[in-house]
């Protein structure tokens, strides 16, 4: 299973208590499931509302395979203006 770098931003960083983590996952769907199972309620809620980038490209198909060394960014909705 590929080793992925997961970077957390804004509310995701707060919910997971980390800026970055190393995880094993074969797809973004699998990564999200693994993170949600290990997380508390707040973190799972943040994940359900987040967008994901794989190597800086929007992950529109979350079932596409991940490769060793990929980076997945977890981007919760941002507010501001």
Assess contact for 42 and 15: CB atoms under 8 A: yes
Give the strand order in the sheet containing 20-24. Answer: 20-24, 3-8, 71-75, 51-54, 57-58
- Alpha-carbon separation of residue 36 from 57, 58, 60, 80, 81 (angstroms): 22, 20, 19, 27, 30
Model's pTM, two decimal places? Answer: 0.91
Average pLDDT, the chain: 92
More confident residue, 39 or 54: 54
Whether residue 41 is predicted with pLDDT greater than 90 in this model: the reply is no
Q: What is the pLDDT of residue 34?
A: 93
The label of the residue with tokens 């080793």 reads 3
């Amino acid at each position: 299973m590929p080793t992925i770098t997961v970077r957390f931003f804004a509310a995701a960083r707060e919910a997971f208590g980390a800026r970055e983590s190393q995880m094993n996952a074969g797809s973004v769907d699998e990564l999200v499931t693994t993170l949600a199972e290990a997380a508390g309620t707040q973190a799972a809620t943040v994940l359900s509302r987040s967008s994901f980038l794989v190597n800086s490209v929007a992950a529109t198909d979350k079932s596409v395979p991940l490769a060793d060394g990929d980076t997945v960014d977890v981007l919760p909705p941002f507010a501001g203006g």
